[in-house]
Amino acid sequence: MRRVLILGGTAEARALAARLTGVHVVSSLAGRVTDPRLPAGAVRIGGFGGPEGLAAWLREHRIDRLVDATHPFAERMSASAARASELTGVPLLALRRPGWDAEDGDDWRRVPSLPAAAAAPPAGARVFLTTGRRSIPVFAARADAWFLARSVDPPEPPVPANVEVLLARGPYTVDGERALIREHRLTVLVTKDSGGAMTRAKLTAARDAGLPVIMVDRPPLPGGVRATDDVAAAAAWAQG
C-alpha cells in the first residue's frame, strides 16, 4: 500500500487526508496550536528536527509521496520539505490555496515582509492585526500606534500596553468583522495574503468601512517544487 505523508494542519490538508483512499496516510501537525482540528487517518504532532530529520523519518516509514500542505507562510517547513525530498528522492507536491485578489473598492497596499507592514500604518493608527501571535513583537515596537491582535492561542507574555489580544478562531462573518471595526474604532487592517474563504470576511468589512489594508505578500515556494491549488488534483497525484 502506498504511504503518503501530508505536512500541515490547514483546511486543504484536512480535505486531502479525507479524500485519499487506498493509501496509508499520515498527517503531521507542527503542534503550535492548542486543540487543533485533526484530519482523518493517522496523525503525528511535533517537528522533525530540520530537513535531515524529516528525510530520516521518510526513510524509516517508507513514505512514497510527500505533500506540503502547510500554511502559505510556513517558509521554513516548505524549505525543509524540499530539501528532504532531494535527499530521499521522495516526490514532493505543494498544495497551496490561491491568494486573495483585490476587488472594486478595495484599498490594498502590498508589502514584502512583516517589518515593512509594521512600518506602513501612520502614527496614531488603530490597527486590526491578523498576522498571528508570533508577529506581535514586530508591530508592538510601534509605540505610536494601537493594535487589536487576533489569534487562536495567546501570545507569549508580556503583552505590550499598546496591544489588546482577541482570542478567536474562524470562520468569521462579515457582520462580526464590521462590529469589531466599529467597536474598536479601527483605522487600518494588517493581514497576510493567506487566502481561503474562512478569513476573507475581514477584507469585505474593511472595504465597506473604507479601511486601507496592508497586505503582506506570501513567500515563494522553493525553486523547482511542483504545486497545485486543487485538492482533487493533489489526491490523484498522491494515489497515482
Q: How confident is the model at residue 168 (pLDDT cuts 50, 70, 90)?
A: very high
Phi-psi region of 139 (alpha: psi -120 to 50; beta: other; left: phi over 0): alpha
Selected residue with higher pLDDT from 64 and 37: 64
> What's the pTM?
0.90
Distance CA(235)–CA(58), nearest Å, equals 19
Percent of the chain with pLDDT over 90: 90
Mean pLDDT, range 24-40, rounded to an integer: 84
Give the model's pLDDT for residue 31: 72
Of the candidates 39, 49, 37, the one whose C-alpha atom is nearest the C-alpha of residue 15 is: 39
Q: What are phi and psi of 13, to 5 degrees?
A: -65, -45
Q: How confident is the model at residue 96 (pLDDT cuts 50, 70, 90)?
A: very high
pLDDT of 170 higher than 90: no
Which residues does residue 213 pair with via DSSP β-bridges, in sequence order? 108, 189
pLDDT of 40 higher than 90: no
pLDDT of 49 higher than 90: yes
Answer positive or negative: Cα dihedral of 205, 209, 210, 213.
negative
Only one residue has cell 525543509, namely 80
Weakest mean pLDDT among 61-65, 152-156, 186-190:
152-156
Q: How confident is the model at residue 199 (pLDDT cuts 50, 70, 90)?
A: confident
